[in-house]
Amino acid sequence: MSVFGPVVKIHPVVLASISDSYERRNEGASRVIGTLLGTIDKHSIEVTNCFSVPHNESEDEVAVDMEFAKNMYELHKRVSPTEVIIGWYATGFDITEHSVLIHEYYSREASNPIHLTVDTALQSGKMNIRAYVSAQMGVPGKTVGVMFTPLTVKYIYYDTERIGVDLLQRTRLAPSRTKGLTSDLSQVAGSAARVQDMLTTVLSYIDDVLSGKVTADNSVGRFLMDLVNKVPTISAEDFENMLNSNINDLLMVTYLANLTQAQIALNEKLVLL
Amino acid sequence: NISRKLTPVVLKIIKHYQEEGQGSEVVQGVLLGLVVDDRLEITNCFPFPQHTEDDADFDEVQYQMEMMRSLRHVNIDHLHVGWYQSTYYGSFVSRALLDSQFSYQHAIEESVVLIYDPIKTAQGSLSLKAYRLTPKLMEICKEKDFTPEGLKKANIGFEHMFEEVPIVIKNSHLINVLMWELEDKSTVADKHELLNLSSSNHLEKSLQLLMDRVDDMSQDIVKYNTYSRNLSKQQQQKHQYLQRRQQENAQRQSRGEPPLPEEDINKMFKPPQPPPRMDTLLIAGQINNYCQNVKEFTSQNLGKLFMAEALQGHN
C-alpha cells in the first residue's frame, strides 16, 4: 500500500491513555474522541501525549466541547511547552460523517491535522490503529469533498519507555493480569533466560538449515556471521585479570556500604542513650 | 497494604521524566485514584510544571484545581491519593519530601509517594517504589518536636522513617490487547541493558553521593558533640557557682551578716539550644538508602560477572 505524506510515530503512552479513556466513557456513548499533542518534524509527526474531550454524538449532529479542549491544552502546555496540537483521535473502526466535521474543528487549531483511529471494538479481530490525513477531492468548481488518506504508523519508544513496556508485556501472561515488580538477582536471571531463549531459536533455525528442512537465507547467514564475530577473543589470562579486578571493586564497595550502615546504626544508638 | 497501578500511569511517569527532567532536577506530579479495601488503586496521574516563575504557588494550586475539574468531565477518578517524584541515583530523603508527604498523609491516610528512578530504569529494570511515613514519624511531625529528647521518647531510628508499600501492576483486558498489538508491530528490544557488564560509572557516582552525605553526617555529629560538651560544661559551672554561693553564705552567716540574695541562676546560665535531630535522621536515612542501592547493584553485577566467567570457561 503506497502512502504519501509524513510517517506517524506514536508513543505507547498515547495508546494506553486512549484505551483507558475508552473504558471510562459515559453510558450510551459509542466512541470517545480527544486531542493529540506532539511535535512535527519535516517528514514525521511524533505523537507524545493526548487527552480526551467530552462530546455528544447523535444521528444528526455532533457537539464537541472545544472550550474544554482549549483549557486542557493550556494546562498541558505549562508542563511541556514543546507540544502542539497535531490532530485528534477517535475510537472505533470507521470514519463517519461526523468525523469530517470534527476534523474541520481541528483544522482551525492545527495546520493539516492528523486523525487517528483506534479500533477498540476489535472489529477485525485485532486492534487496528490507523492514521489519516485529510485531502480535498472532487471536481474543482463544484462541491468539494474530503477524503481521508491513510499514513504509515510506527511505534517509537524512549529507552526507559521500552523497558517499562517490557515489564508491562509480562503482565499479559499472568492469569490474574497482575504483576509485582521484581528486583535483584531475579531480574538478571530473567534477562539471561530471555537471551537463552533467543539463542535456542537461532540454533534450531541453523539445525533446520543444515538438515535441509529450510532453505538457507543469505542475509540471515550474514547476521549470524556478524554475531559470531562480535564475541571478542581474549586470552584466558587477560580475562581472568579483568574479572578479578572487577570482582575486587565490587566486593570493596559492598564492604564499604555495610560498614557505613553499621556506623550510622551505632551512631543512632549512641545518640539515643 | 498494597498499591496497584494501571499501565497508563507507569508510561506517563516515564514519559514525563524523559521530556522534562534532563539534568538533576526532580519532576513531580500528582497521583489520582481510589482506595479499595486494603488496597490503594492508582488509576491516573498528571504532571506538575516546573517551578520557574515567582508566582509558583498560585499557579500550582490553580493548575491542580483546573486539571482535576477537567478530568472529572471525562470520568477519570479525581481523588488525590498521593504524588510522585523522580530521583537522582536514589537521593530523595529530604526535608521537602518529608513535609510534602506529611501534608498529604495528614489529609488522606492512605497516600503514598512514588519514587521513580530513571537511571536505574535505564539500566534495565523498571524502578518504581512506593513509600509512606510510619505512624511514629507522623506523630513526631505533628508535634514538631525534633529535639533529642522527643525522638528518644518515640524511639525512632532511621530505619523506621519510611515503610515501603509493594506495588502491583494491573492491566485491563483492553490494554492487554494493546500490548499484543504493540508486540506484534514493534521491533524487538535491542537493548538488553540489564546484562551490561560495565559498572564503574554508576558505582563512582553512587559513591560520590554517599561520601557527600557522610560528610554532612560527620558535620552534624560534630555539632551534636559540641552541644553536649557545652551542656556538660555549663552544668559544671552551675554546680560550681552554687557551691561557691553556699560557701559564701555559710561564711557570712558565721560572721553574722545577712546572706546574699538568691539569684536566678537560670537567667545567668542560659542553657544552649539543642540542635534539631530531624536533619540527622534524614541524613542517616538517606545514607541507608544509598547503601542499599549500592549493595543491590553490586550483587547484580557480581552475578553477571560470574555468569561471564562461566561462559568464558567453556571456550
Query: Which tens digit of pLDDT belongs to each residue from B153-177?
Result: 666 667 777 777 777 777 777 777 7
Alpha-carbon distance of B290 to B91, in angstroms, equals: 7
Amino acid at B73: H
Written as one string, the DSSP assignment of B97-164 is HHHHHHHHHHHSTT-EEEEE-HHHHHTTS--EEEEEE-HHHHHHHHHT--SHHHHHHHT--GGGSEEE
> pLDDT tens digit string along B285-307?
777 878 887 787 777 778 777 87
| B247: in domain | yes
Is B256 inside any structural domain? Answer: yes
Contact list, B7 vs chain A (CB under 8 Å): 16, 20, 168, 171
Nearest residue, CB atoms, A161 vs list B14, B59, B192: B14
A80 and B301: CB-CB below 8 Å? no
Q: What does each C-alpha distance from B304 to A185, A186, B196, B207, B313 come to in angstroms?
A: 9, 12, 8, 21, 14
Neighbours of A255 (CB within 10 A): 11
For residue B119, what is the domain's CATH number?
Answer: 3.40.140.10
| Cross-chain Cβ contact A181/B49 below 8 Å | no
| Sign of the dihedral defined by the CA atoms of residues B11, B16, B17, B22, in that order | positive
Going along A101-163, which residue ranges are E strands?
Answer: 114-118, 129-137, 145-151, 153-155
Residues of chain A with C-beta less than 8 angstroms from the C-beta of B168 = 178-180
How many domains does one find in chain B? 2
If one counts every other C-beta atom within 10 angstroms of the C-beta of residue A258, the result is 13
For A214, the grid coordinates are: 529450510
pLDDT digits 0-9 by tens, B57-88: 556 677 777 777 777 777 777 777 788 877 77
Q: Are A219 and A240 contained in the same domain?
A: no
**Same domain flag for B166 and B18:** yes
Higher confidence at residue A81 or residue B190? A81
Query: Based on the domain organization, do B187 and B211 belong to the same domain?
Result: no
pLDDT above 50 (res B24): no
pLDDT attached to residue B54: 46
More confident residue, A155 or B267: A155
Q: Residue B243 pLDDT more than 50?
A: yes
Q: Of the residues B196, B215, B242, which one is the last residue of a structural domain?
A: B196
Instruction: Choose among A162, A158, A112, A108: nearest CA to A132.
Output: A112
* A58 plus A123 within the same structural domain: yes
More confident: A187 or A82: A82
Distance of CA B129 to the CA centre of its chain: 11
Question: Does residue B55 surpass a pLDDT of 60?
Answer: no
User: Cα angle at B180 between A207 and B115, to 5 degrees?
Assistant: 110
The answer to whether residues A54 and A91 belong to one domain is yes
Q: What is the pLDDT of residue B80?
A: 78
Measure B73 CA to nearest chain A CA, in Å: 7
Higher pLDDT residue, A243 or B182? A243
For A133, phi then psi, to 5°, come to -130, 150
B48 and B109 in a single domain? The answer is: yes
Q: Are residues A27 and A103 in the same domain?
A: yes
Report the chain B residue with the minimal C-alpha distance to residue A170.
Answer: B179
Neighbouring CB atoms inside 10 A of A165's CB total 25
Give the mean model confidence (pLDDT) for residues B256-266: 67
Q: Residues B184, A233: contact at Cβ < 8 Å?
A: no
Cell of A29: 456513548
Whether chain B has a CB inside 8 Å of the CB on A71: the answer is: yes
Confidence of residue A91 (pLDDT cuts 50, 70, 90): confident
Helix (H) or strand (E) holding A219: helix A218-230
Q: How close A13 comes to chain B (CA, Å)? A: 5
The verdict on B144 and B263 lying in the same domain is no
Alpha carbon of B28: minimum distance to chain A alpha carbons (Å): 10
Task: Please indicate whether residue A159 or residue A259 has the higher confidence score (pLDDT).
Answer: A259
Residue of chain B nearest A255, judged by CA positions: B295
Q: Chain B window 117-146: which residues touch A at a Cβ cutoff of 8 Å?
A: 118, 121-122, 124-126, 128
Which member of B20, B67, B305 has the closest CB to residue A75?
Answer: B67
Q: Give the count of domains, chain A.
A: 3
Is there a single domain that holds both residue B92 and residue B123? Answer: yes
- Residue B91 is classified by DSSP as B
Domain range spanning residue A266?
Answer: 235-272
The confidence band for B246, taking pLDDT boundaries of 50, 70 and 90, is confident
Query: Are residue B80 and residue B204 in the same domain, yes or no?
Result: no
Cβ contact, residue pair B121, A160, below 8 Å? yes
Domain of B93, in residue numbers: 6-196
Listed in sequence order, the residues at least 6 apart from B298 whose beta carbon sits closer than 8 Å to its beta carbon are A250, A251, A253, A254, A257, B199, B203
Higher pLDDT, A160 or B129: B129
Could you count the other beta carbons within 10 Å of the beta carbon of residue A73?
Answer: 17
Note which residues in 21-60 of chain B have CB less than 8 A from chain A.
Answer: 43-44, 47-49, 59
Mean of per-residue pLDDT scores for chain B: 72
Burial grade of B208 (CB within 10 A; 0-12, 13-18, 19 or more): exposed
Q: Look at residue A255 and tell me whether its pLDDT is greater than 50.
A: yes
Q: What is the mean pLDDT of residues B24-33?
A: 71
